[in-house]
Amino acid sequence: MLFIDPVRMLPNLLVPLVGVLFVGGFSGSSYLWAAAGAVGAVVFALIRWITFTYEIVGDRLEINRSLISRSLRTIPLERVRGVDVSTPPLHRLLGLAILKIDTGASGGDEEGKLDGVTLEEAERLKTLLLRRVAVARARAGAGAAPGPAGAGEAAGAVRGPAMEAGPGAPGGVADVHGAPAQEIHVPSERTIITVPRRWLLYGPLSGAYLFTPFALAGGAIGLAFQWGNELGVGQDAAWQAGQWLWDRPYLLLIAVLLLVVAMPFVGGVMYAVFNWDFRLKDRDGYLVAERGLINRRSVSLEARRVRGYEIVDGLVERRAGVVRAWAIVTGLGDSSTRGQLLPVVPRKVAIEVTAGAIGPFRAELRPHPPVARRRRLFRAVAPWLALGVPALVAAVATGKPAWWVLAVLLLGPAGLGVPLGIDRYRSLGHGYDGARLSVRSGSLRRKQAVVERRAVVGWRLKQTWFQRQAGVYTLIAGVGAGEGGYPAVDVSAEQARNFPAEVTPEWLAPFMEGPRR
């Protein structure tokens, strides 16, 4: 960690160090100040390493930091929602890992983070914490009082400085008596799916990494503007290079075309790096997703807190028959990243995996009223008309050629607007199979949520001014998990009344009875 922490601080130290060197003219004193900054980073890392400890005492985890002011963070084991293990490149090179504990409080890293334990110790702690969490919840559910503190500590308490390993504390963990803590529990494990590497070719279809070449080019341009003087290439070198390229539009066009051609290749590489060797496992009541080539990450989701799943696909993915899947989990921080169940896989596989791991949805989605189709067609065509009609009037008034404006007005709504509006309407739907409800909407990014009935905690009806004129509603199923609510958009008044009554009849029965005589 005395090596990893200074390297991690390099981006923050780079600007002042370079400034010192350039201001000092690369003299002996400037090198001395730069060396002092490097030594200061190592000393800071050493103090952090010495003053950070963790301990499992009874039914809680205590994390102690005393770098400047003493801080003691206590995490009750029954509040633990999951334990993640990741191995960034430097950590993997040195046989270390980062263990993060999610309590569902804020989703931040500071909920509970042990940075620099050995990989073996991280896996051991993960198994130990999850097993003790299950025991603590079983006791709480049975109403049993916890045992004596000494007995609990002897059974599996761990104590020791994080990021430390030595003869007296193998892996940096020992019990309260100083002897290495022994684990006799062997977790049961079943691999649900291992994503074949050939499916990584689907990655660029998701669009998440397609714009990586443009992001890299933008970063390079920004770096050139910021560091042009310091690198000795001139005050306005970056700006002059941009003007030179602008004066030669054919070169600019070639550069843009090269970036466009590079989009699927670079996007595919980035996707493969993040989702390499993706595995979904069932381990001791937890869904465990493992992925990553450079930074290998393992995310655990407690199965009993999973309330459903989301299946997402874009327009291009839909044409290829592939989707992505996320779990809907109560109390999960950073659910958009930690809740991922599957990367881009064939739809049939995603349906089978989510049905086997969480539960199937056995019903057809019900269509929304025709007025919902008209609303989508109007919103898909109106922007073309709002921009094209004034442009056509201006072209005719000034006597300029208006054929291209007329072509846009004809081809835009008919070629793009109408198909998009129809696809958005076809994507609408909602349904209930007696155990789970489902809602779906979207086109460029279509999302279908499947939620267990027991997860529904309320209903909300929303109606904009335009919806009031059309006589439709947005019905939101309030869920204590995931995004907190999943909407059925543009349902009719009858559907807005009958769907909640079908899913939760006991809630609405008192309001739907006729007047008493």
Residue pLDDT, tens place only, 377-408: 999 888 887 877 777 777 777 777 666 667 76
pLDDT at 136: 64
Q: What percent of the chain has pLDDT over 90?
A: 34
pLDDT at 13: 60
What's the gap between Cα 145 and its chain centre?
A: 38
60-65 and 52-57 strand pairing: antiparallel
Q: What is the CATH number of domain 51-186?
A: 2.30.29
Q: What residues pair up with 101 in beta bridges, in sequence order?
A: 83
- pLDDT tens per residue, range 296-342: 999 888 888 899 999 999 988 999 999 999 999 887 756 667 788 99
Structure letter (DSSP) for residue 292 = -
pLDDT at 273: 92
472 and 487 in contact (C-beta within 8 Å)?
A: no
What average pLDDT does this structure show over 209-220? 71
Identify the sign of the CA torsion 353, 358, 363, 368: negative
Q: Measured between alpha carbons, how far is 371 from 389 in angstroms, rounded to an integer?
A: 26
Tokens encoding 153? 């500590």
- pLDDT tens per residue, range 403-427: 666 776 777 777 788 899 999 999 9
Query: From start to end of 321-398, where are the E strands?
Result: 322-329, 340-346
Identify the sign of the CA torsion 304, 307, 313, 314: negative
Which residues contact residue 11 at a Cβ distance below 8 angstroms, ignoring those fewer than 6 apart? none
> Of 81, 116, 82, which Cα lies nearest the Cα of 98?
116
Q: Over the chain, what is the mean pLDDT? A: 79
Q: Measured between alpha carbons, how far is 430 from 453 in angstroms, rounded to an integer?
A: 14
What average pLDDT does this structure show over 358-364? 93
Q: Does residue 187 or residue 355 have the better pLDDT?
A: 355
Total-model pTM: 0.74
Helix, strand, coil % (nearest 5) of the chain? 50, 25, 25
pLDDT at 17: 59
What average pLDDT does this structure show over 211-220? 71
Q: Measured between alpha carbons, how far is 20 from 37 in angstroms, rounded to an integer?
A: 10
What average pLDDT does this structure show over 125-149? 65
pLDDT at 111: 67
Q: From residue 181, how far is each of 92, 125, 155 by CA, in Å?
A: 24, 11, 8
203 and 271 in contact (C-beta within 8 Å)?
A: yes
- pLDDT tens per residue, range 32-89: 766 777 787 788 888 888 888 998 888 888 998 877 777 888 888 888 877 889 998 8
pLDDT at 132: 75
Q: Does residue 103 or residue 236 have the better pLDDT?
A: 103
* Dihedral, 202, 205, 209, 213 alpha carbons, nearest 10: 110
pLDDT at 513: 62
Return the minimum-mean-pLDDT range out of 142-146, 364-368, 461-465.
142-146
pLDDT at 157: 39
In the three-class reduction of DSSP (H, G, I as helix; E, B as strand; rest coil), residue 484 is classed as coil
What average pLDDT does this structure show over 237-265? 77
Return the minimum-mean-pLDDT range out of 130-144, 348-362, 412-426, 428-442.
130-144
Q: From residue 393, how far is each of 381, 387, 389, 390, 411 by CA, in Å?
A: 18, 11, 6, 5, 18
> Of 467, 465, 458, which Cα lies nearest the Cα of 492?
467
pLDDT at 402: 66
Quick one: which H or E segment has residue 259? helix 249-275
Q: Does residue 357 or residue 140 have the better pLDDT?
A: 357
Q: From residue 53, how far is each of 30, 160, 163, 164, 265 by CA, in Å?
A: 37, 6, 9, 9, 44
What average pLDDT does this structure show over 340-357? 94
Q: Helices in 157-211 by DSSP H: which ranges? A: none
C-beta atoms surrounding 79 within 10 Å: 19
* Dihedral, 284, 287, 292, 295 alpha carbons, nearest 10: -60
Return the minimum-mean-pLDDT range out of 111-115, 303-307, 345-349, 397-401.
397-401
What average pLDDT does this structure show over 454-480? 94
